[in-house]
């Protein structure tokens, strides 16, 4: 355990030198499978592989495979990712791996040397967690009506949300499962009932875009603390402009409003996940002030890990 603590401390130092916005490295989960490797210079590195299955009608299954093997690397300051991924591959040989499966590793986006190892082992940068710190509001001229969505807007919110799911299923991680509409309907009914921060943009009284957001706290002991600096954050879960209305500045207007409102709720910044292969969002989000913090390296099915 002492050496695991040493690796966590060394990894925190590595994270701090890579990117000032990264929180310190977290302790590995206690219930995973431990893998270790010795490097050529005698340094030892470790990783914990946890295996998760998601319920058939869970919202997680709309953006994730049904089963996931996720590795939490503990490489400290060493360049040990290649050796760990080799061990990860070997561990999978002892597992029953179906088609609806993935191997996943979350790793700081700015660690370019580790990126080489992920690519060599067949993982792709399928998603990034990108952040935007609170900045003084910028003036964006408004041509749309933007308002909070209420439970009466369920059908409109659902339609826009499903349009995003479908688009992202071609260029990202989402999966249009047969139960997608009913699962989304259930989740959105709940969020609208709880007055979650959800906005609609309307043109001539017709809703053309959706920003579905939430407030997330990053405090010691929370899941968010492993990914974000401490504080209250605005989470931008789903942004969708109707297919025929994209590329006309609607997304930009809606986000300028959502950012302003989320900051009014006391947030230090906002974050979201986008898919680098998405030709719209990979341009759109950096233009709105976001930059990658974590990359979610993934390979589907899990058996394709090299
Ligand atoms: C991504 C999305 C929300 C952006 O909204 P939008 O209204 O189309 O975007 P805007 O017109 O406001 O564009 C803002 C910036 O994004 C970029 N952009 C938008 N459409 C683009 C396109 N077709 N090609 C290249 N860049 C584009 C531009 O750089 C633009 O900035 P600029 O006009 O100052 O150059 C929208 O296209 C969409 O719903 N896409 C499908 C679903 C999706 O990908 N959702 C996001 C998942 S994370």
Q: How many angstroms from the chain centroid is the CA of residue 239?
A: 14
The pLDDT score that the predictor gives to residue 2 is 44
Digit-coded pLDDT (tens) for 20-46? 999 999 988 889 999 999 999 999 999
How are strands ordered across the β-sheet holding 145-148? 33-38, 44-53, 67-74, 101-108, 291-299, 124-133, 269-274, 231-241, 206-218, 198-203, 145-148
Task: State yes or no: pLDDT of 75 exceeds 70.
Answer: yes
* 134 Cα–ligand 1 center, Å: 21
Digit-coded pLDDT (tens) for 86-97? 999 999 999 999
Average pLDDT score over the chain: 96
The pLDDT score that the predictor gives to residue 11 is 96
Read off the pLDDT of each residue in 94-101 and give the average, rounded to a whole number: 96
Please list, in sequence order, all residues whose beta carbon lies within 8 angstroms of the beta carbon of residue 222, skipping any fewer than 6 positions away. none
| CA-nearest residue, atom 23 of ligand 1 | 247
* 269 Cα–ligand 1 center, Å: 21
Task: State yes or no: pLDDT of 4 exceeds 70.
Answer: yes
Read off the pLDDT of each residue in 174-188 and give the average, rounded to a whole number: 98
Read off the pLDDT of each residue in 6-20 and give the average, rounded to a whole number: 96
Q: How many angstroms from the chain centroid is the CA of residue 16?
A: 20
The pLDDT score that the predictor gives to residue 223 is 94
Residue 5 banded pLDDT, cuts 50, 70, 90: confident
Give the other-Cβ count within 10 Å of 282's Cβ. 16
Q: Is 177 left (phi over 0), alpha (psi -120 to 50) or beta?
A: beta
The residue to which tokens 């919110």 are assigned: 157
* 237 Cα–ligand 1 center, Å: 16
Reference 273, options 27, 20, 60, 15; nearest CA is 60
* Percentage, residues of the chain above pLDDT 90: 94
Task: State yes or no: pLDDT of 283 exceeds 80.
Answer: yes
15-24 long-range contacts (CB < 8 A, ≥24 apart) are 15/108, 18/108, 18/110, 18/111, 19/108, 19/109, 19/110, 19/293, 21/131, 21/229, 21/293, 22/108, 22/293, 23/218, 23/225, 23/226, 23/227, 23/228, 23/229, 23/230
Digit-coded pLDDT (tens) for 129-147? 999 999 988 888 889 999 9
Reference 12, options 22, 1, 2; nearest CA is 22
Alpha carbon distance 199, 241 (integer Å): 12
Read off the pLDDT of each residue in 186-197 and give the average, rounded to a whole number: 98
Mutate to test the pocket of ligand 1, among 138, 248, 251 (most ligand atoms within 8 A of CB): 251
* 283 Cα–ligand 1 center, Å: 7
| CA-nearest residue, atom 5 of ligand 1 | 251
User: Does the C-beta of 252 come closer than 6 Å to ligand 1?
Assistant: yes
The pLDDT score that the predictor gives to residue 3 is 76
User: Does the C-beta of 244 come closer than 6 Å to ligand 1?
Assistant: no
Read off the pLDDT of each residue in 168-187 and give the average, rounded to a whole number: 98
Task: State yes or no: pLDDT of 252 exceeds 70.
Answer: yes
Question: 242-258 burial, b if ≥16 CB within 10 A, otherwise e?
Answer: beeeeeeebbebbbbbb
Strand 124-133 to strand 145-148: parallel, antiparallel, or no bridges (unpaired)? unpaired
Residue 1 banded pLDDT, cuts 50, 70, 90: very low
The secondary structure of 123-172 as a DSSP string is: -EEEEEEEEEE--PPPP----SEEEE--GGGHHHHHHHHHHHHHHHHHHS
User: Does the C-beta of 11 come closer than 6 Å to ligand 1?
Assistant: no
Domains of the chain (ranges; CATH) run 2-130+297-304 (3.40.630), 136-288 (3.40.630.30)
* 66 Cα–ligand 1 center, Å: 30
Mutate to test the pocket of ligand 1, among 138, 280, 281 (most ligand atoms within 8 A of CB): 280
With contact defined as beta carbons under 8 Å apart, do 260 and 199 qualify? no
């Amino acid at each position: 355990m002492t050496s695991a603590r040493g690796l966590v401390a060394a990894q925190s130092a590595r994270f701090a030198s890579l990117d000032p916005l990264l929180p310190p490295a977290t302790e590995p989960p206690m219930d995973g499978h431990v893998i270790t490797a010795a490097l050529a210079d005698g340094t030892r590195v470790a990783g914990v592989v946890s295996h998760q299955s998601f319920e058939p009608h869970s919202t997680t299954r709309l953006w994730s495979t049904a089963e996931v093997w996720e590795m939490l690397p503990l490489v400290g300051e060493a360049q040990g990712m290649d050796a760990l991924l080799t061990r990860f591959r070997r561990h999978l040989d002892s597992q029953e791996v179906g088609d609806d499966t993935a191997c996943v590793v979350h790793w700081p986006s700015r660690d370019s040397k580790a990126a080489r190892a992920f690519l060599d082992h067949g993982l792709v940068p399928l998603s990034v967690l990108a952040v935007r710190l609170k900045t003084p509001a910028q003036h964006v001229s408004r041509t749309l009506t933007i308002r909070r969505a209420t439970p009466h807007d369920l059908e409109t919110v659902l339609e826009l949300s499903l349009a995003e799911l479908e688009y992202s299923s071609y260029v990202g991680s989402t999966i249009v499962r047969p139960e997608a509409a009913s699962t989304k309907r259930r989740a959105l009914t709940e969020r609208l009932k709880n007055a979650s921060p959800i906005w609609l943009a309307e043109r001539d009284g017709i809703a053309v875009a959706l920003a579905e957001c939430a407030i997330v706290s990053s405090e010691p002991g929370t899941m968010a603390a492993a990914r974000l600096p401490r504080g209250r954050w605005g989470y931008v879960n789903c942004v969708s402009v109707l297919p025929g209305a994209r590329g006309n500045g609607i997304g930009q207007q809606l986000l300028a409003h959502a950012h302003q409102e989320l900051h009014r709720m006391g947030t230090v910044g906002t974050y979201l996940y986008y898919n680098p292969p998405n030709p719209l969002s990979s341009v759109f989000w950096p233009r709105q002030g976001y930059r990658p913090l974590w990359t979610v390296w993934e390979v589907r099915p899990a058996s394709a890990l090299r």
